[in-house]
A = this chain, B = another copy of it.
Amino acid sequence: MSKQNAFYAQSGGVTSVINASACGVIETARKHSDKIGTVYAGQNGIIGALVEELIDTNAISEQDVAALRHTPGGAFGSCRYKLKDIETHREQYERLIEVFKAHDIGYFFYNGGNDSADTCLKVSQISEKLGYPIKAIHVPKTVDNDLPITDTCPGFGSVAKYIALSTMEAGLDIQSMCETSTKVFILEVMGRHAGWIAAAGGLAQQAEGQPPHIIIFPEIAFDREAFMKKVDQSVKDNGYCVIVVSEGAHYEDGTFLADAGTKDAFGHTQLGGVAPTLANMVREDLGYKYHWAVADYLQRAARHISSKTDVEQAYAVGQAAVEMAVEGKNAVMPAIIRKSNAPFEWVIEEAPLDKVANVEKFMPRDFITEDGFGITEACREYLEPLIRGEAELPYDEKTGLPRYVRLSHTLAEKKLPEFKA
């Protein structure tokens, strides 16, 4: 096999460790300079390939590449852009192959979640059909933790640590004030379909009666009456009630709580905010003083509290993706396979992309307590290793803030006519 270039792109919502995967890809590719020439990164993800905006990562110093390991966000830009159907929009795929051909790209590393696993598979398939076969490897990433086969998805462990810790810290705050002040606190977390992040809030509870007292999962239909009963009981038993709620919380009929008819002064539907919606319900039904928080992007960008396990796994899947590619593998994803819980041991194995694409992994029912408002011991055993360890982070002595790297993008010269993505 002759030496070819590689293309790497970040896809979908970014995480605090997606750049650690990028670091794994680039550092490992540099070690295989006999087989891989230049690693090009898509500017703003796959769009960069379509419009031929290819960042030349050779222009990035060794030191800056290493700093990607501790920098949150997507250093090359990511995008929410799903390639259209291959039957009706074949031109998009053909353009991709055209760009890859023009830049002698033989390896495609796509760093994303469910949608991008599907795209990655399609790119592999069409490249063969078009007579320019590409080794397409999917690098798993999603805070939603909903990819199948892999034990966890890089990005999730760090959000989990952030949410567990924030729940614990806010819980201590509320507990100390509840005699005369806030009795109900609601923390809204990410997770539209799967409740993994909300479940992580449960790790804060280390003894009965400790927060969180209630978790609301998208896997369990919301029952206002049962919820209020539990809130009231917690206030009576503990003096306060801490609730972690998934943004995807919904009623039996599928309506999101956050879309439950709240309108602004102009009659527009108020978007977002299951926490304030829930808080209003508590006021109406129980009258308790409340506070709420919506962590939003803060949770998935919080590299300062990333878990060591997560950073290591994020790097490892990037590294493994390149190893697999140079071994000639195609249409696979490096999956994290848990070997044992105590001590926590894991390895990387390859998962075929057709088993990964478009499959969502939800919380199993036995990870949720019978009443639907908490996590079980089995869930705790699964989650705990993922938030273990504090990842290294260099701080600047003067500013008191981390030394995150901001790359300047050196684009490769364009060789093709313009294309409208």
Binding site for B on A (CB under 8 A): 10, 13-14, 16, 44, 47, 71-81, 161, 164-166, 168-177, 179-182, 185, 187, 203-204, 206, 260-266, 268, 270-273, 275-276, 279-280, 283-284, 291-298, 300-305, 307, 384, 387-390, 395, 397-402, 404, 406
Some 15 contacts from A to B, beta carbons below 8 A apart, are A14-B173, A16-B169, A44-B180, A73-B173, A74-B176, A76-B176, A77-B179, A172-B404, A172-B406, A264-B280, A268-B284, A293-B297, A387-B400, A388-B398, A389-B400
Q: Which residues of B contact A13 (CB under 8 A)?
A: 177
- A44 → B minimal CB distance (Å): 4
9 smallest beta-carbon distances between A and B, as pairs: A73-B172, A74-B176, A293-B296, A261-B265, A169-B301, A387-B400, A388-B400, A173-B301, A79-B180
> CB distance B388 to A301 under 8 Å?
no
Which residues of B lie under 8 Å from residue A172 when comparing CB positions? 71-73, 301, 404, 406
In the bound assembly, the distance between CA atoms of A206 and B402 in angstroms comes to 12
- Closest Cβ of chain B to A268, distance in Å, is 7
B297 engages A173 (CB within 8 Å): yes
Q: Which residues of B contact A272 (CB under 8 A)?
A: 276, 279, 291-292
| B268 and A280 contact, CB distance less than 8 A | yes
Cross-chain contact B265 with A265 (CB below 8 angstroms): no
B264 and A72 form a contact (CB under 8 A): no
Q: Which of B175, B182, B262, B304 contacts A305 (CB 8 A)?
A: B304
